[in-house]
Structure 1
Amino acid sequence: MENRLAKNIVLNVENRNTFGKKNRSLRRNGITPVHVYGLKSDSLSLQANEKDLISVLKSAGRTTPVNIKNKDGEETITIVREIDRHAVSGDIQHVDFLRVDINEEVESPVPVVLINQDKAPGTAGGAGVVTQGTFEITVKAKPFDMPNELEADCSVLVDLEAAILASDIILGEGVSLSSGSDDRIAWIQPPRVIVEDETVVSDEDSLEGGEESAEENTAEGEQTPSTSEDS
């Protein structure tokens, strides 16, 4: 189990002088409004090339620091705070970045991905399948020590009793776990057993049942002769 540390990701921006509905003209020209705030400093209204921004967001996710670099040479270390998308098209309308201090720890949820699922001994012979119950855990680290994602090695799942807990994940140097240490990440789920309610009738039982039915019908069809005392 290992972690993947944050990369140095840079987003080149320019100052923005358009606001509100006028931002539509920017988007039509492949420019996306960007907002930077936090650390008790003035907020910045910026703009970035749409393609560059999409590439940065894919690489950074919600945990990796992004270096916002302005044309005037000013640089700001941030993390993605909010992405505003169009309700119908899903296109990015606006992105907010939060300033962070590279020397101060921050808390952030980090995705957990499973590896070696096909090598889990507990699944041998169809005994079960690997099941993931927790898809992210919250950790604390300085911005550039923050993992982009964490891995859970399923090769340790030796039987149906085994499980990978949050405390089993190797976080890496400078990273500590903030969420519950007993959170179950993955385990072996036994296969479902479907019980069908079937009644099996043997030929002998069927024959006996038929004979009994015939005897009952015969008895019902016979009439008891009357006697002189009854008449």
Structure 2
Amino acid sequence: MSHATYELKAVARERVGKGSSRELRRNGLIPAVIYGDKQAPISISINTNEITKRIHAGGFLTTVAVIDVNGEKIRVLPKDYQLDVVRDFTMHVDFLRVSANSQVSVQVPVHFINEEKSAIKTGAVLNIVRHEVELHCPASDIPEAITVDLAGLKVGDSVHISAVKLPKGVTPVIADRDFTIATIVAPAGGMEEEAAEA
């Protein structure tokens, strides 16, 4: 479970709009907003380098942070960020306020283990249908990843969400069907030809 939190310093913004956002970016800051938890949104500015480091470190959208806005500490979960399409420069970040008992929906990466104990060892291919799964979970207990064990899987086998052991209190957002995460398939024209030759 991802319990790691970090703190960011921010300043509340009085002025909003394109002009003030451009001015912030020129000064090494980016505009951001904190919303949710039945409270009025707060427009803030944050140090660009700090946010960019956090985004590139991984797990940005699944790690709860504490933002110090002029001395008031607010627990948040980053919900979205915009990058400049040309320069890969952070343009804006949205933060969702979370409390100790908040439930959130987050995209969690899928990790695969024991490939060498499956048909992949003999040339089959892992066809990943979902690299991430959207989960509903407590904001204080967001899984860093979900793990899929491939041991014993043969060509033609599929891994569905029901086969994955999810942590307590965590459920898939898609609840109306047992969706596929990955399948084991024969390589294009590979294994059938080998079998025919044998």
Which of 11, 31, 35 lines up with 2:8 in the alignment?
Answer: 11
Residue 18 of structure 1 and its aligned partner are, at CA, apart by 4.0
> Residue 36 of structure 1: CA displacement?
0.8
Residues 184 and 70 of structure 1, relative CA distance in 2, 3 Å threshold: same
2:63 corresponding residue in structure 1: 64
Normalised to the residue count of structure 1, the TM-score between the two structures is: 0.71
Unaligned runs of 5+ in 1: 196-231
- Whether the 8 Å CA contact 1:9–1:56 is kept in 2: the answer is no
- Kindly provide the CA deviation profile for residues 71-95 of structure 1, in whole angstroms up to 9, marking residues without a partner as x: 42x1112222221222432311111
Structure 1 residue ranges, 4+ long, deviating more than 4 angstroms after superposition: none
More strand by share: 2
Give the SS at the match of 2:11: strand
Q: Secondary structure at the match of 1:144?
A: coil
Give, in whole Å, the separation in 2 of the partners of 1:142 and 1:123.
35
User: 1:126-161: CA deviations, max 9, x gaps?
Assistant: 3x112211222222211011113222222342x114
> In the alignment, what sits opposite 1:123?
120
SS, match of residue 62 in structure 2 = coil
Two-structure CA RMSD over aligned residues (Å): 2.4
Amino acid at match of 1:135: H
Separation in 2 of the partners of 1:5 and 1:169? 18
- The counterpart of 2:189, out of the listed 193, 207, 211, is 193
Of residues 142, 155, 176, the one that matches 1:146 is 142
Greater Rg by CA? 1
**1:38-65 CA distance string (max 9 Å, x none):** 1221221211111111223344432322
Which residue among 107, 110, 122 is the counterpart of 1:109? Answer: 107
Q: Aligned partners of 1:166, 1:110: CA distance in 2, in Å?
A: 13
Aligned to 1:175: 170
Structure 1 CA distance, aligned partners of 2:92 and 2:28? 12
> Which consecutive unaligned segments of at least 5 residues does structure 2 have?
193-198
**Distance change >3 Å, CA 125–CA 141, structure 1 → 2:** closer
Q: Percent identity at matched positions?
A: 27
Judged with a 3 Å threshold, the aligned counterparts in structure 2 of structure 1 residues 163 and 109 are, in CA distance, closer, same or farther, namely same
Task: Encode CA deviations 1:81-129: one digit per residue, 9 max, x unaligned.
Answer: 2212224323111111111232132233322122333x13212433x11
8 A Cα contact 1:64 1:147, kept in partner: no
Which has the larger displacement, 41-50 or 108-117? 108-117
- Secondary structure of 2:140's partner? helix
TM-score (norm 2): 0.82
Q: Any idea what SS the aligned residue of 1:5 has?
A: coil
Report deviation, 1:174: 2.5
Going from structure 1 to structure 2, the CA distance change for 1:121 and 1:40 (only over 3 Å counts) comes to: closer
